[in-house]
Chain A
Amino acid sequence: MQQSLPDLGAAASYTFPKPRRVTVGGGTVVAVDVPGQQLVSLRLVHPHGGAAEPLDAMGVSALTSEVLEDGPDGNSSLAPALERYGAEWVSRVSWDGFITGLDAPASRLGEAVRLFADAVRRPALDPDDIVRRRDQLLERFWLEAASAGTLAMRSLGGQLFTGRYATPLAGGPVKLADVTPETVAAFHADSVASVAGTLVVVGDLTGVDLEELGKTVFGDASAVPAGEPTAPAPPPGELPRLLVVDRPGSVQSALVIAHRAPSRSQVDLPRAEGISEVLGGMFTSRLNMELRERLGYTYGAGTRFDLRRDSGVFFMSTQVEADTTAHSITSSLEQIAKLRESGVTEEELTAVRESNTVGLPVNYATARAMAGALVDMVVHDLPEDHVDRVRAGYERLTKESLDSAATEYLHPDESVVVVVGDAERLRRPLTDIGVGPVEVRTPESLWS
């Protein structure tokens, strides 16, 4: 039996497939052929996300996205019709994009896409359907927020931003109630129906006529560029500070430590994502090794950037045994401080560099993942060799460039710590650690 790690073979260099681009009317089809991938991922990107919503229509994008599922004939008829073709409806609203799509067998793509186009361009938008969907969404907010981790993430926006970002993407448990069927119809007409958008198609495209696909999906809709949103100001309040969202009887606390970050176009992606990976992006990252593998406080801890067109958020999140909450916070802050002071190790530098270069074939091993990358490129106006450029950025990383990223992008002193847990049990220990003032709120009081 061999006693040591075998050598690696030579890594083949990876290049993201060059997409085929076809302009059809007001829209563009961006396609990657993956022979043998029978399930085709199709995504239509409209450049209107939650960030562009006026403050008296918060949640209209999310509600419209749901209502499209009622289909051209209304009354939840779209999904059953698609199901007959073995196709699955996909829809997602982000802060910066309104995305609809299908995962469908290549053999039945044509039929499914005709139905898809009707659903996006000519939905019934029956007021009864809209009100039913809205009420369901409002109720679902609290059903989902009954999970501590979800509630913690939803509580974050109001701590870091004023304006639109202070309310959850789907309009929260209150504001969405003000969105009327008329508002939905107007949003759909102005931002979806009449806007061609960009169609991403990935899968086995043997025999697929992209031009025809584009005609079906775009019709006579026109090209409309995305607006340029501006970042809302932070709310007043001392930093760092702690917010406890009371969840009596919780045996664990959901914990998020977050601060504002630059926008997607402002960050140097390999350096920012790289330093986040060292801190919490991988299983072997510092926070997980400390909180899980050394202290045994949690099932897992991680960090991530949420980068938008006009702003960004950096956050660490975890769920820890209730009695370890205070120590989990100080430990996490210590880990961040240490990374800022002492920088990364050679091993960490190598891990970040290699995982994001030689590891790329793993990231893009499915049609869905490739479609996701293409959608990202459309939403953020990135060049089509974006993946390769970022790879080159990772290849250039040095210890110095990652160390400087730690001080440039990680700001524990500007953090808000959100804790969803049992306030009675947590108030004293969280006050005692002296990180900042502690405020206790009930979940219901967070949104008005």
Chain B
Amino acid sequence: MTTIGAAGRVGQYTLDNGLRLVTAPASTGQVASVNLWYGVGSRHEVPGRTGFAHLFEHLMFQGSGNVAKGEHFEEIERLGGDINASTSSDRTNYFETVPDHALDRVLWLEADRLATLREGMTQEVLDNQRDVVKNERRQRYDNQPYGTALERILRLAYPEGHPYHHPTIGSMADLDAADLDYVKSFHKAHYGPDNCVLTVVSNLDPEDVLARVEKFFGPIPARDTVPEAPDPALGAPLGGPVRDSVTETVPAAGVFIGFRVAPYGEHGFDVMHLASAVLGQGQGSRLYRSLVVDRPIAADDGGAAADILPFRYTDSLMLVNMLAREGVGGDVLEEAMREEIGKLAAGVTEEEMDRARAVLERDHLQSISSPSGLADSISSCTQLFDDPELAYTWPRRWDDITAEEVRAAAERLLVDDNLLVVRFDPEEPQAAGADAVAEASGA
């Protein structure tokens, strides 16, 4: 099996406290990317506490036992480093890329907030970051056309009380209810070295990296107890078609279609990943050809209509999304999209399969082409599948999947019983601004 060079040079170690360390080479010099994946995400949130895992991620930058508010950012930025973090349903990741002489400093900063965050936490920073996160929600969801789509999709896809029923950002009311005691208990429950994968991508000697990680993370004890995650089992099929229709200020009708598919990491997921690429990834995809170029009733999205939200611990969601052209109604677009999706069950050509594999492989290569992207992919593969080398070999999963497998999976899964639709329609018959364009075109 050919892989791209670096596989086989990956180092894997487990500290006595359970922390898993992975080292891998960088393709440019003098740089170190550090990436920590904690096995905690919004799927661990209970009703009334939505948005907490993400709010917590913000608080991790607000100071710890030996680090003042703002100091973590300051130290990394002063070195010209990149620094950020993100939260999803399944995990929270923290990452920095720095010149490699600063590796000790990054490891120390990360170790300090893992070991002593509770000592640095105050009501004042909690209140401030709660406001920041509420503004993040406004910016990304509430003040954005179609911004609430994901929230609505998840609400339809997973039943009330299910850990994937709500989006990671959470609700305004739950954010308001967050208190300091809960912050501290959340850190104690989920932030232990035994719940962390640490990846370092650099050209430093792996044994040297191991020694430094031992020095800073070795003394941190594992958690006493591992909290149980809310049950992600789905008792019943979706029972579709289910739908949510919204009329609000949007510039054009928008159609969001979803289907439950296999969990991330399973063969069935890979099959549907190819199906989504055939259908809606790239300008050679069916939806682009038929609804953007040939008819054309959908806005040009460059070929990005379909993808899968990858969930490891429950059914993932294949999503198909397009916006209508001027003068095209939501019903027309929705019907055309559903028709195109339905056609997959009639068969997929070898040429389409080749293109789909090439597109997915290209995107994968793109995602691991930076040291920071590679580190994140390795952390993911280690945390979720205990196999860091998958970060390099992932595209090989698509090699042996046949066109017939894709067709059969489409026939089984892309059906009304398993269908959800979120529809946005503009308040007025014509999109805002459309008048001005029409006048000018006619002038």
Q: Assuming the A-B contacts A36-B27, A365-B97, are A143 and B299 also in contact, with contact meaning beta carbons closer than 8 angstroms in the complex?
A: yes
A366 to B4, CA, bound (A): 16
**A362: contacting residue among B98, B283, B300, CB under 8 A:** B98
Does residue B184 face the partner (Cβ distance < 8 Å to A)? no
User: 1/0 per position for B309-334, CB-CB distance to A under 8 A?
Assistant: 00000000000000101100000000
Does the CB pair B437–A139 fall under 8 Å? yes
Give the distance to chain B from A34, nearest Cβ to Cβ, in Å. Answer: 6
A147 to B144, CA, bound (A): 6
Q: Assuming the A-B contacts A1-B220, A142-B433, A365-B97, are A34 and B28 also in contact, with contact meaning beta carbons closer than 8 angstroms in the complex?
A: yes
Does residue A293 face the partner (Cβ distance < 8 Å to B)? yes
User: 1/0 per position for B46-79, CB-CB distance to A under 8 A?
Assistant: 0000000000000000000110011001110111
**A39: contacting residue among B132, B216, B365, B434, CB under 8 A:** B365
Q: Which residues from 361 to 388 on chain A have a C-beta closer than 8 Å to any C-beta of chain B? A: 361-368
**A296: contacting residue among B98, B127, B361, CB under 8 A:** B127
Does residue B432 face the partner (Cβ distance < 8 Å to A)? yes
Does residue A75 face the partner (Cβ distance < 8 Å to B)? yes
Does residue A359 face the partner (Cβ distance < 8 Å to B)? yes
Does residue A303 face the partner (Cβ distance < 8 Å to B)? no
Give the distance to chain A from B304, nearest Cβ to Cβ, in Å. Answer: 12
Does the CB pair B366–A88 fall under 8 Å? yes
**A361: contacting residue among B99, B134, B143, CB under 8 A:** B99
Does residue B303 face the partner (Cβ distance < 8 Å to A)? yes
Does residue A221 face the partner (Cβ distance < 8 Å to B)? no
Does the CB pair B26–A365 fall under 8 Å? yes
Does the CB pair A351–B78 fall under 8 Å? yes
Q: In the complex, what residue of chain A is closest to B81 when comparing beta carbons?
A: A362
**A356: contacting residue among B80, B97, B105, B354, CB under 8 A:** B80
A368 to B369, CA, bound (A): 9
Binds A, one of B148-156, B192-200, B231-239, B247-255: B247-255
**B300: contacting residue among A140, A295, A321, A357, CB under 8 A:** A140
Does the CB pair A284–B433 fall under 8 Å? no
Does the CB pair A297–B135 fall under 8 Å? yes
Does the CB pair B440–A173 fall under 8 Å? yes
Does the CB pair A284–B79 fall under 8 Å? no
Does residue A231 face the partner (Cβ distance < 8 Å to B)? no
Does the CB pair B128–A296 fall under 8 Å? yes
Does residue B296 face the partner (Cβ distance < 8 Å to A)? yes
Give the distance to chain B from A32, nearest Cβ to Cβ, in Å. Answer: 10
User: 1/0 per position for A330-358, CB-CB distance to B under 8 A?
Assistant: 00000000000000000100110011111
Q: Assuming the A-B contacts A1-B115, A69-B283, A355-B78, are A362 and B97 also in contact, with contact meaning beta carbons closer than 8 angstroms in the complex?
A: yes
User: 1/0 per position for A57-70, CB-CB distance to B under 8 A?
Assistant: 00000000000010
A164 to B281, CA, bound (A): 36
Q: Which residues from 1 to 55 on chain A have a C-beta closer than 8 Å to any C-beta of chain B? A: 1-12, 14, 34-39
Q: Assuming the A-B contacts A136-B299, A320-B135, are A105 and B365 also in contact, with contact meaning beta carbons closer than 8 angstroms in the complex?
A: yes
Q: In the complex, what residue of chain B is closest to A444 when comparing beta carbons?
A: B436
User: 1/0 per position for A119-148, CB-CB distance to B under 8 A?
Assistant: 000000000000011001011111101111
Does the CB pair A364–B28 fall under 8 Å? yes
Contacts of A85 in B (CB 8 A): 358
Does the CB pair A363–B80 fall under 8 Å? yes
A3 to B216, CA, bound (A): 11
Contacts of A443 in B (CB 8 A): 432-433
Q: Assuming the A-B contacts A86-B362, A138-B437, A355-B79, are A365 and B145 also in contact, with contact meaning beta carbons closer than 8 angstroms in the complex?
A: no
Q: In the complex, what residue of chain B is closest to A78 when comparing beta carbons?
A: B283
**A6: contacting residue among B104, B432, B434, CB under 8 A:** B104
Does residue A403 face the partner (Cβ distance < 8 Å to B)? no
Q: In the complex, what residue of chain A is closest to B372 when comparing beta carbons?
A: A365
Q: Which residues from 22 to 47 on chain B have a C-beta closer than 8 Å to any C-beta of chain A? A: 25-31, 33
Give the distance to chain A from B414, nearest Cβ to Cβ, in Å. Answer: 22
Does the CB pair A299–B132 fall under 8 Å? yes
Contacts of A358 in B (CB 8 A): 79-80, 99, 101
Instruction: State which size class the interface on B falls in.
Output: 35 or more
**B29: contacting residue among A177, A319, A357, A361, CB under 8 A:** A361
Does the CB pair B135–A2 fall under 8 Å? no
Q: In the complex, what residue of chain B is closest to A149 when comparing beta carbons?
A: B139
A78 to B288, CA, bound (A): 13
Contacts of A363 in B (CB 8 A): 80
A361 to B80, CA, bound (A): 9
Does the CB pair B355–A83 fall under 8 Å? yes
Q: Which residues from 386 to 443 on chain B have a C-beta closer than 8 Å to any C-beta of chain A? A: 431-437, 440-441
Contacts of A177 in B (CB 8 A): 437, 440-441
Does the CB pair B6–A36 fall under 8 Å? yes
Contacts of A145 in B (CB 8 A): 433
Contacts of A294 in B (CB 8 A): 128
Does residue A224 face the partner (Cβ distance < 8 Å to B)? no
Contacts of B136 in A (CB 8 A): 299
Instruction: State which size class the interface on A falls in.
Output: 35 or more
Does the CB pair B251–A293 fall under 8 Å? no
Binds B, one of A186-194, A208-216, A245-253: A245-253
Does residue A180 face the partner (Cβ distance < 8 Å to B)? no
Does residue A76 face the partner (Cβ distance < 8 Å to B)? yes
Q: In the complex, what residue of chain A is closest to B29 when comparing beta carbons?
A: A361
A38 to B367, CA, bound (A): 12
Contacts of B80 in A (CB 8 A): 354-360, 362-363
Does the CB pair B216–A283 fall under 8 Å? no
**B436: contacting residue among A11, A88, A174, CB under 8 A:** A174
Does the CB pair A8–B101 fall under 8 Å? yes
Does residue A282 face the partner (Cβ distance < 8 Å to B)? yes
Does the CB pair B73–A284 fall under 8 Å? yes
Give the distance to chain A from B119, nearest Cβ to Cβ, in Å. Answer: 11
Q: In the complex, what residue of chain B is closest to A105 when comparing beta carbons?
A: B365
Does the CB pair B99–A362 fall under 8 Å? yes
Does the CB pair B366–A351 fall under 8 Å? no
Does the CB pair A140–B99 fall under 8 Å? no
Contacts of B97 in A (CB 8 A): 362, 365
Q: Assuming the A-B contacts A143-B299, A358-B79, are A84 and B354 also in contact, with contact meaning beta carbons closer than 8 angstroms in the complex?
A: yes
Contacts of B133 in A (CB 8 A): 299
Does residue A412 face the partner (Cβ distance < 8 Å to B)? no
Does the CB pair B436–A143 fall under 8 Å? no
Q: In the complex, what residue of chain B is closest to A354 when comparing beta carbons?
A: B78
Does the CB pair B135–A299 fall under 8 Å? yes
A9 to B369, CA, bound (A): 27
Contacts of B65 in A (CB 8 A): 3
A133 to B283, CA, bound (A): 14
Give the distance to chain B from A137, nearest Cβ to Cβ, in Å. Answer: 8
User: 1/0 per position for B213-257, CB-CB distance to A under 8 A?
Assistant: 000100110000000000000000000000000000111100000
A178 to B293, CA, bound (A): 22
Q: Assuming the A-B contacts A84-B354, A138-B437, A361-B30, are A319 and B135 also in contact, with contact meaning beta carbons closer than 8 angstroms in the complex?
A: yes
Q: In the complex, what residue of chain A is closest to B249 when comparing beta carbons?
A: A249
Does the CB pair A299–B300 fall under 8 Å? no
Contacts of A141 in B (CB 8 A): 433, 437
A-B contact pairs, 18 of them (CB 8 A): A8-B105, A9-B100, A9-B101, A12-B100, A86-B358, A87-B362, A141-B433, A146-B145, A146-B251, A250-B143, A296-B132, A299-B133, A299-B139, A360-B99, A361-B30, A361-B31, A362-B79, A362-B99
**New A-B contacts (8) at CB < 8 Å, excluding given A9-B104, A12-B100:** A34-B28, A84-B354, A105-B362, A147-B145, A174-B436, A283-B73, A319-B143, A359-B99
Give me the 6 closest cross-chain CB pairs, A-B, nearest first: A359-B80, A80-B284, A296-B131, A79-B283, A361-B30, A355-B80
